[in-house]
Amino acid sequence: MKRHFFGTDGIRGRVGEEPITPETVLKMGWAAGRVFLAKGDDRGSVLIGKDTRISGYLLESALEAGLSAAGADIRLIGPMPTPGIAYLTRTSRAQAGIVISASHNPYEDNGIKFFSSLGAKLPDEVECAIEAMMRKPMRTVPSAELGKVRRFADAAGRYIEFCKSTFPSRLGLEGLKIVVDCAHGAAYQIAPHVFGELGAEVVAIGNAPDGFNINRECGSTCPETLRRTVLAEGADIGIALDGDGDRVIMIDHAGAVVDGDRILYVIAAHRKRSDIPVPGVAGTLMSNVGLEQALTRVGVPFARSAVGDRHVMALLAERGWDFGGEASGHVICLDKSTTGDGVIAALQVLAAMRESGRSLAELAEGMYVYPQTIVNVTLNRGVSAREIVRAPDVLASLRDVERLLGTEGRVVLRPSGTEPVVRVMVEAAEARTVAELTEQLAAAVAKAAAEAAVA
């Protein structure tokens, strides 16, 4: 079944425009409630958490009303990182968890993500069942069967303790100065406590959300803010999360950015050196070739999936591996959590630093990062990204770039699954070649998009 609402990471869009409207989210809550109740043996409960966007209040109320109308009980968590919702859904034995967040997008956007009772993203068949239910008339259950709503007591404390439990109990972070950029997002009350309670001196930034400043010039999408603070504070390391806390980008003591690819390398290589089995690591089509080469040198197999953490998760399940992720900062450690978790991934890097006695810069130096440029070509509303990447002139430009690169580089052209953009990525040994070819292909995409907007 072709899905109308669900994309690569739940449902996402501009608030006030379909599907992120009160009416549609109300119906979505009802449809999800009916599907969850049909799959469960009892009423169970559905958890609802959110990030710090102003629209979270609106969408939370709409979901709550829809779920109650379907007969599902609800437990409201409030601001909580996406992986925290996954953890609490599993450990509280809820029927499902829902996160209201648009992750790294600006505050004008929002989205809905669902987790199963096991704390994992919903399988395709359940998403399709929800979409099928949304096409049916909405009918409210009798008053005696309406869902009840409660607050989830001490959700933050439970998740903080869980995060800390993933760090070796014999170690501490005493003597380390850490700058934590919470992106004015869902982790603003969580992350500083986790690192501080493990003994670090924590400098928190991006921890004053106002509903509008989430991801604005901060967090994993803007590591420059963290880099400046790390250098100004003389800190040992910087940790930048995104709006919903499932991504992490790090800064070493010298101000160098350590992205998701290098974080994966640091974790896998340290475990390999510690004689801990690492059967393999999963990346995506966008993962730097330097990651693959560095892992090969330390004897760790590497495989690529399509872009998106759900595709990485599928590859990990297929191979029986624990580690995977994306350069953007989705880092999945399935031996610690059921989903990508920025705080937990950062803790694995800090554990490697503590156990090895080496700095992040020293741990990451084993991976050479090939010059790579990613350009996002923004599309006007109504222009299909999938049609643009198949436009004749764009395909001709793509073939030309591939011919010029030969076997000395890679090019990826794809529509985003979370934003109205086409992503252009070129990777090669020479930075000048990368810049020129990226500009050439991006210009062809932009021209095709402009022509489509006028047509």
> Would you please indicate which residues are annotated as catalytic (active-site) residues?
103
Q: DSSP characters for 250-277?
A: EEETTS-EE-HHHHHHHHHHHHHHTT--
Question: What is the arrangement of strands in the sheet containing 281-284, beginning at the earlier edge strand?
Answer: 302-305, 281-284, 323-325, 331-333
Distance CA 225, CA 219 (A): 8
What does the alpha-carbon distance between residue 188 and residue 244 come to, in Å, rounded to a whole number? Answer: 10
Strand partners, 174: none
332, 340 contact by CB (below 8 A): yes
Q: Is 76 exposed, middle or buried (0-12, 13-18, 19+ CB in 10 A)?
A: middle
Interacting residues of 451 by C-beta distance below 8 A, sequence separation 6+: none
Give the pairing of strands 11-14 and 109-115.
antiparallel
Burial of 216 (0-12, 13-18, 19+ CB in 10 A): middle
H/E segment holding residue 324: strand 323-325
Sign, CA torsion 354/359/364/365: negative
Fill in the amino acid letter for 367.
Answer: M
Q: Is the dihedral of CA 67, 68, 74, 80 positive or negative?
A: positive
Instruction: Mention every residue, 6+ apart, whose C-beta is less than 8 A from residue 375.
Output: 423, 424, 425, 438, 439, 442
Burial grade of 395 (CB within 10 A; 0-12, 13-18, 19 or more): middle
CA atoms within 13 A on the CB side of 23: 3
| Cis ω for the linkage preceding 19 (within 30 of 0) | yes
Q: Please provide residue 238's backbone torsions phi and psi, each rounded to the nearest 5 degrees.
A: -125, 145
CB atoms within 10 A of CB 4: 11
